[in-house]
Amino acid sequence: MDGVIFKQKRNPDTGRFEWCAENEDTTDFCQDLARAAYADMLHDEERNKLYFQALKNVIQRQKSLKNDPVHVVDIGTGTGLLSMMAAVSGADKITAIEAFEPVAIIARKIIQLNGFADKVNVISRRSTDIYSDEIAERGDIAVAEVFDTELIGENALKTFSDAQKELLKPGAKIIPCKAKFFAQPVSSDHVLNWHVAKSISLPSYNVRLCVPPNLQNCPGLDTVHDIQLSQFRNFRPILEPIEVFQFDFEKAIAFDEHKTFLLNLPGENLTGGGKLDAIFTWWELDMDGTGNLILSTKPDWSDSKNVRWRDHWIQSIYFLPESVDLTPNSNLYLNASHDEYSFWFSASNVEMKKQKQPYKRPLCTCSLHKILTRTNIARFNDSQRYERFCKIAQKIVKDKSCVAFGDCTLLPLLALQMGAKEVYLIEAEDETQKFLKSYADFNSLGTKLHMVHGMAELPETAKFGVVLADPFFASSLLPWHNLHIWRLIDDLKQFGMLTDDCQVIPNKAEICAIPVEFEHLWKIRAPVGKVEGFDLKPFDDVIQAAIKNECDQIELQPLWEYPSTALSESRVLMTFDLNGPSLHQNVHSSTEFAFHRAAKCNGIAMWMNFYFDDQLLETTGPVSSTVTGQNPKWTVTAKQSVHFPKFPLKTASNLKVDCHFDHKDEAFFKFSIF
């Protein structure tokens, strides 16, 4: 077994952890690198040019002040791009530091290929683990790209602080020099769909499910929700953006800060009052300290003329512990905090001295924010999904014994309100059971809802007339992994727990697809080639090989954030009869897409539809019919699967897709393009 290592992986279909043998030489270090989408950063022309110009400016400035050799320390060198920029800009010596050994190997190859091996020394260590006595001499300049969407989430503050102590000379220059963090208070019910549980009111079906008090009073978590805010328009700005924090990386940095801003609310935008629901944030970098080279992550609706697309740095939404009622021409107190890695906010219309713990970090007390992601909370709040379910279930569940499954599902409670005799819910997690029990008890349904951890706990004599299969599991990595409901339906049949006339909701599923031309998203998987004149072929070789070795070459993306153009009508790739016997069979199908316009197909988007007979129960794809030549309108309550072809496909001829689905061990789906 030499050269083989064992890794524990979760099977998304069974939900169990299993040990898998992998070749030690081809283990997924490179796959991890490919999934990290470093290519998107290297495709960011504005970022590359600003770093290059800042290095030129600062190195020339240093040389004009004193005629000594200039030593540049490149922290987190990655491909070695910034080190090579420093060499071209006049640096006499460069120390490139990279913590991840496989990346350091790539950097050495790229630096050698471009002819800078004599100037650049690559050290494979964390910069915070290197001390002054371990390097030949301290640096005159540090350059680093150690930022994330939250600015400081990748340890930027400690990185620069430690560099000043251990790696740099007194008075050394840092690129970028400074950063500003901006906040914009907004009002938006749509934003709250990602954060708070909402009551379900469907009078046509005699359904009203109220939110228990423990959920209503929960402050949530301080975890950031990072999205492409340029694609989000369902909000009302309360005030203009505010600079809440500034960081000077060349000086001592405070790891913990708390500030309160007294803001006067205008009258013109708050006619009739309103609510403060969330804080939108972004940041900007002053690259060389002059204020002339500014890199900003602001959304395009804030300044449509000077915004560049990028996906490695986007924008963030911070949710408040509670929404604040606003009155025109009154005061608002905005509390902003950060520690070494993250930010959080609160707000009040009560003056500071009367607030209780204004800087306290939010902590979830209701479990919802621990159980579900932000996207899944939006699904949890999707009233249209519940209305479709009630339309189907109202004629089926009355006076029936039901069995249900699906993570954190409210379908059993809706069925009980529509007259179901009782519902047995299979829910393995104790925390989720406790959460759902609070819902059931508060809505006087607790005596009819019976929760068990698995099928073995169901009554031996049970006979269920209805199966409520909510197609969502937290362990699902791709949309078709939610076909785990099919396995559970089959298990119930095998155990003889279903009546002869049992109705299964849903009873049909589809995998659908559409070829698209992404405006920008293709960049995260596209070869880089040359950047600012530097050849990065060794990086491309590793990334493309890793992508090729991925078993499915399919990944999950929230496509509503990424504009694209539909190049054909959508097609059903596969249909599954969830009442049928084909669970353990291999399924093959072939589909053809007809292109109607000249374009480059750089992505194929896929999703799941679930039906009861011919009535749509749920989709993880477009919320309306797709139109060739237009941007599909994707749901925000689920992510979609995307395949990026190795090369953009010309649309001069039709596109043929061959699909293979194997549900024997796990929901394995693969397709090939011809």
Active site residues: 145, 154
Length of the chain: 674
**Residue 495 CA to chain centroid, in angstroms?**
39
Close Cβ partners of 202 (under 8 Å, ≥ 6 residues apart): 208, 383, 386, 387, 390
Name residue 661's amino acid: F
d(CA 437, CA 431): 10
Nearest alpha carbon to residue 301 among 236, 245, 243: 236
Beta carbons of 628 and 529 less than 8 angstroms apart: no
Beta carbons of 86 and 140 less than 8 angstroms apart: no
Q: Could you tell me whether strands 315-326 and 225-227 are parallel, antiparallel, or unpaired per DSSP bridges?
A: antiparallel
Beta carbons of 557 and 640 less than 8 angstroms apart: yes
Containing H/E element for 63? helix 45-65
Nearest alpha carbon to residue 594 among 652, 519, 507: 652
d(CA 38, CA 544): 12
At 440 the three-state DSSP class reads helix
Q: Could you tell me whether strands 331-338 and 343-348 are parallel, antiparallel, or unpaired per DSSP bridges?
A: antiparallel
Q: Which two tokens stand for residue 191?
A: 């934003």
Nearest alpha carbon to residue 505 among 396, 416, 605: 396
